[in-house]
Amino acid sequence: MIIDFLIGKYNYIAAVILMLVGLYTVIVNGNLIKKVIGLNILSTAIILFYISISKVKDGSAPIYANDVIRYDNPLPHVLMLTAIVVGVSVTAVALAIIIKIKEHYGTIEEDEIVKMEMEDNEGS
Amino acid sequence: MYKHHIVLRMATRMMTPFIQLFALYVLAHGEISPGGGFQGGVIFASSFILYGIVFGVEEVFKKISRKMIVFLTALGVMIYTGVGYITMFNGGLFLEYAKLPGLDMKTGNSIGLLLIEIGVFITVFSVMLLLFIEVAKKYDN
Amino acid sequence: MTVLIDIMFLTFLIFVAVLAVYIRDILSSTIILGAYSLFVAVLWTTLNAIDVAFTEAAVGAGISTVLFLAVFTKVDREDRSSPSKDRKIIATAVVFIVGYLLILGVTDMPNFGDYNWITNVYLIPDYLERTLKETGSPNIVTAILGSYRGYDTNGETTVIFIAGLCVYLILRKGED
C-alpha cells in the first residue's frame, strides 16, 4: 500500500522534499547568496508540482498534431511560464540589494550584519 | 577583457549573429512551435551578454547605448499596452485582437498575437541586458 | 519503465539540490545550481512541458547563473555562516510541520497522470477545441498566453519592466 502511494504520487512527494530543502536553507543559512539559492530551489519545486498536475497518461505536448490520443493540460504551462520569468526578476533584485549591502557593511553574513547594527545602537 | 585569447574572441564574433538569428526565429515561430517572446528575448540578450563577458561591458555600449536600453524597456510595455488601447478605440475590449483595424477575426488574432510577442521580446531583451550590465558594472577593473 | 526513469531522475534532482545548499564554497554552489536548472529543463521535456523547458533552459540555466557569477566579482566566495543551535532546532521544527501538512495534502491528490481529475476536465477541453478555430495558432500554450490570458501577460511584462527599473535605480552611482 505504501509502495503504491510512493509510486503513484512520487512527483508530488519529490516536489514537497525539494520545497523543504529550499525552505530550510532560507531559514537557517546566514549567507545571503545561499538564501537566494534556496529561494530558487523553492520556486523550482513549486513549478515541478504544477507541471506534474498537467501531465496526463498517454498525453502529448500541447501543440496541435495528427494521431494524438489526448493533449496535456496547457494551462499550468502558461502559469509556470509567468512564474519562471518573475522568479528571475526576483533573483535579480535580490542580488542588486546584496551588492548594496556588501558596499555598505563590507560583508554578506547575516550574523555579522546584525552584530554591527547592535554595536551601532549601543554606541549612540 | 581576454586580449590574448584569440580563439575565444574569434568564436564569439562568429557565433553572435547566429545566436541573434536563432532568437528572431524563435520569436517569429512562437505560434507554431515552442518559443515566443520571452525565450526569444532572453536568447537575444544572451548574445549581447556573451559579447560583454568576452570583450568587456564597455564594448557593449558601443553597439547599444545605456540610454537606448532603458528606453527599450519602456517601449516594449508601451507596444503591448498600445495594442490593447488601439482595439479599445476601435470599438472592442482591451486586447480584443479581432477588432484591430482592417482585419477579420482570424487574421486579427494572429497579427495581434505577433504584435504583443514583439512587445514582450523588446522588454525582456532590454531588461535582461540591463540587469547584466548593472550587476557586472565593475567587471573590467 | 518510464516510472522507474522518472523516479531515478527525481531522486537525483533532490541529491543535486541538497549538494547545492550543502557546499561551503558559494561559487561551486552557483555552478551546481546552474546544472540543477539544466536537469530540471530536461525533466520538463520528459513531462511534455516544452515551452517551460525552453524558458527554464534559457532563463534558469543561462541568465540566472550569469547574474550570480557577475555578483562574485564583488563578494567573497566563502560561506562563513555558522547558524546557532536554536535556529537549527526551530528551522527543523518548521520544516517538519510544513512537510507533514504538505504530505497530508498529497494523500488527497489523484495518482500521477490521472486524466479524469477536475483540473484536467474543467474548462481545458473547451480551450483545446476553440484555440485553433479562433486564433489559428497550433501552439496552444502561446495562444492561451497571448489571447485568452492576455491581461496576465501584460501584467507580467510590467513586472519585468519594474524589476529592471528597480535594479537600475538601486545600483545607480550618480551617473545619468
Instruction: Name every chain C residue with its beta carbon within 8 A of the beta carbon of B115.
Output: none
Q: Residues A99, C174: contact at Cβ < 8 Å?
A: no
Which helix (H) or strand (E) segment holds residue A86: the answer is: helix A74-105
Residues in A 86-105 with any Cβ partner in B closer than 8 A: 89, 92, 95-96, 99
ipTM for the predicted complex: 0.90
DSSP string, C68-89: HHHHTTTS-SB------HHHHH
Q: Which residues of chain B have pLDDT under 70?
A: 1-3, 138-141
**What does the radius of gyration of chain B's CA atoms come to, in whole angstroms?**
18
**In this predicted model, which residue has the larger pLDDT, A94 or C131?**
A94
The pTM is what? Answer: 0.91
CA distances from C133 to A71, A76, B26, C130, C140 (A): 17, 22, 23, 5, 11
Instruction: Name every chain B residue with its beta carbon within 8 A of the beta carbon of A83.
Output: none
Instruction: Name every chain A residue with its beta carbon within 8 A of the beta carbon of C83.
Output: 28-30, 111
Q: Residues B8, B88: contact at Cβ < 8 Å?
A: no
C-alpha cell at C110: 489523484
Q: Residues B99, B59: contact at Cβ < 8 Å?
A: no
Burial class (CB in 10 A: 0-12, 13-18, 19+), C89: exposed
What's the confidence (pLDDT) of residue C77? 82
The residue in chain B having the minimum alpha-carbon distance to the alpha carbon of residue C164 is B127
Q: What is the DSSP letter of C59?
A: I
pLDDT digits (tens, 9 = 90+) for A14-73: 999 999 999 999 999 888 999 999 999 999 999 999 998 888 888 888 888 888 888 888
**What does the radius of gyration of chain C's CA atoms come to, in whole angstroms?**
21
The residue in chain B having the minimum alpha-carbon distance to the alpha carbon of residue C146 is B113
**Phi (first) and psi of residue A62, to 5 degrees:** -75, 60
Q: Which residues of chain C have pLDDT under 50?
A: none
pLDDT digits (tens, 9 = 90+) for B32-62: 888 888 899 999 999 999 998 888 888 888 8
